[in-house]
Each structure stands twice: as structure tokens, then as C-alpha cells.
Amino acid sequence: MLDTILEFIFYLFIEVISFNVGRFCLRVLTLGRFNSRIDDHRQGWVSLVGFLVILVLIIGFGVWMNN
């Protein structure tokens, strides 16, 4: 039961949230030329970019709150 819940949370974060953040960032950086879908072969890279953006924002927010 706990494994299923953790798997769902991991899937939701990596596949949905990180992918959409990564797709948004890449579309802004390429001025709308980059178009990726959730079933595309570049999905892993787009999710990685989204995860890195989220990670940098979390770390930056933490550093900002400590100052």
C-alpha cells in the first residue's frame, strides 16, 4: 500500500509537474520552437530540466529565507 502511494507521488512529481515545468522553460528559452509531448522520446530530458529548475528554486528560496 505504501509502495503504491509513494510510486504515485513520484510519478506525479516527475512525469507531470517536472515535465510541464521543463517544457515551459524550454519553450521560453527557444522562443516557442521546442515542442515536446508527454509520450515523446525527449520526455526524460524535459523532465530532467524541469526537476533541475524546481531544485534550484527550492534551494534559492531556502537561501533567501535564511538571509
For residue 59, the enclosing domain spans 2-66
Say how many CA atoms lie within 13 Å of 32 toward its Cβ: 0
C-alpha–C-alpha distance, residues 44 and 32, integer Å: 19
| pLDDT, tens only, 19-55 | 888 888 888 888 878 777 777 777 778 888 888 898 8
**Stretch 6-15: mean pLDDT, rounded?**
80
Query: What is the reported pLDDT for 64?
Result: 93
The number of distinct structural domains making up the chain is 1
* Residue with grid cell 533567501, as numbered in its chain: 64
Query: What is the reported pLDDT for 61?
Result: 93
Q: Where are the alpha helices (DSSP H) in 1-67?
A: 2-11, 19-29, 43-66
